[in-house]
Amino acid sequence: MYKILVSFFFCSTLWANEWQDLERFLPPGTQLSYLVVDAATQKTVVSHHANTLRTPASVQKVLTALAAKIYLGDDFRFETSIRGSRDKISLGNYQGSLSFQFVGDPTLLRVDIRKMLLRLKSLGIKNIKGDFLLNSHAFNGYQWSNGQAWNDLGVCYTAPSHAIIVNKNCVLGNLGRGDGKTASLFIPPYEPMRISSDVQIVSVEEKQKAFCDLEITRHENNRYHLWGCMVPRSGAFPLAFAVNDPFNYAAEIIRSELKRVGIKLTGQVREDSAYLVSDKLVTHQSITLDRLLLQMLKNSDNLIADSLFKTLGAHYFNTSGNFRNGALALKLILEKQGIDLGNSYIVDGSGLSRHNLMSSKLFMKVLNYIYKHDKTLHILASFPIAGKDGTLKYHRGVHDTLLTEKVIAKTGSMKGVSNLLGRVSTARGDMLFVVLLNAYVPLKSASVSVLVSKDHFQREFLKRIVLLGND
């Protein structure tokens, strides 16, 4: 018996060492956790700091996807509406105020609003004898989660999660070379956003000497100022500004679209947060949850994730959704399925917050559930496929012929964070894995950074899983 135990311990130690030698591909100080499980037998293949809580970044979206599938259901759609009373329509006039009810639809576009207003006009309304209320009752609280980096809030991947969303609360533009000394700014003239620029074009040497970069200052009412410097480019430098004041942005769009479709408003466009009980005169529905999750997981769409997160809180507690009740709703929904997230810390649905904390072991609980129930959930089909689509199409951590289309995984990246969670198909069967890299700082030496990097580590880690299944 003693010999058997010694032999088992010796083999286990060798096995663990074979995996730990992969850490030589990471810079010193990198915080690493991973867990690999045989999907069929549920046996742990290898585990390293699997109970340690780490910053999850966008792999957090897997939790949101599962909770939404379970609680909201496949047929869920966001429904935006114009509300009022049909009794108040007479001789081309609407006597009173109308409400445009926003519900946090992350796919609602300006053209959708125009179509809704045209349908309103077809009901015989050419004049609104009152105000046009933009209703935001669906969500309340902060439009960004606690723990988001303040200097990211001006760009589109952190567009505010508000009940009022139009065009993803994002405005695109670019910086051109201008006169060669000062960059020229272009923003489409139809966009109700005021942006000024004083960006200097300098050489690489001048940029380094002055310690300057492209900077943005945010002001009230969707006003921004670009400043700092940039080096010359062969083409325009693309810009993507987050709409920090969703109400004013939507209000200006609606004023413009009312004129465009020929509806006269005698009152004002105002914000309202009252609970609405009036009739739905016009409705617009988003795509179904399945298609929303496909976009969210393949492309790591933060706005879809946080809108669904708040919607979970709203539906579960029958109140306005926010980050707090969304977090509690998610945990309770998963707990009812036997997934106890223990001492994890959940702040949002996207993973943008630095306050989120999850472990490899907790993520594996979620991944196991998804795998076991995938015939009904169909979530794995929305994961990016290595070398084929989504965030794994050009991901260097899976850029190897041995991994192409054998790995499906959700990525999670932010400054100092590079995580992967998913499934590897091997000759022996499917393997489930979670690998969390935190506190990652790349080496500056070009000759070493190719070999010692997160990409090299992830490739070798995943290749080892594939080869393990071929033994």
Q: What is the pLDDT of residue 469?
A: 64
Instruction: Write down the pLDDT at residue 8.
Output: 40
Q: Rounded to whole angstroms, how far apart are CA atoms 230 and 210? A: 11
What's the pLDDT at 277?
86
Confidence (pLDDT) at 17: 63
Residue 18 has a pLDDT of: 76
Q: What positions carry a catalytic annotation?
A: 58, 61, 300
Tell me if the domain spanning 79-141+246-285 has CATH number 3.50.80.20.
Answer: yes
pLDDT tens, position by position, 360-394 = 999 999 999 999 999 999 999 999 999 999 999 99
The domain segmentation of the chain, as residue ranges, is 15-75+289-470, 79-141+246-285, 167-242
Contact by Cβ (8 Å): 350, 376:
no
Beta strands 264-265 and 127-129 are parallel
pLDDT, tens only, 215-226: 999 999 999 999
Provide the pLDDT for residue 151: 87
Q: What is the pLDDT of residue 2?
A: 47
- Write a three-state SS string for the chain: CHHHHHHHHHHHHHHHHHHHHHHHHCCCCCEEEEEEEECCCCCEEEEECCCCCECCHHHHHHHHHHHHHHHCCCCCCCEEEEEECHHHEECCEEECCEEEECCCCCCCCHHHHHHHHHHHHHCCCCEEECCEEEECCCECCCCCCCCCCHHHCCEHHHCCCCCCCCHHHEEEEEEECCCCCECEEECCCCCCCEEEEEEEECCHHHHHHHCCCEEEEEECCCEEEEEEEECCCCCCEEEEEECCCHHHHHHHHHHHHHHHHCCEECCCEEEECCCCCCEEEEEEECCCHHHHHHHHHHHCCHHHHHHHHHHHHHHHHCCCECHHHHHHHHHHHHHCCCCCCCCCECCCCCCCCCCCEECHHHHHHHHHHHHHCHHHHCCHHHCCECCCCHHHCCCHHHCCCCCCCCEEEEEEEECCEEEEEEEEEECCEEEEEEEEEECCCCCCCHHHHCCCCHHHHHHHHHHHHHHHHHC
Q: How many angstroms separate the CA atoms of 418 and 367, rounded?
A: 18
Regions in the chain scoring below 50 on pLDDT: 1-14
Report the CATH architecture of 15-75+289-470.
Answer: 3-Layer(aba) Sandwich (3.40)
Q: How far apart are CA 170 and CA 189, in angstroms?
A: 15
pTM of the model: 0.94
pLDDT score at 9: 41
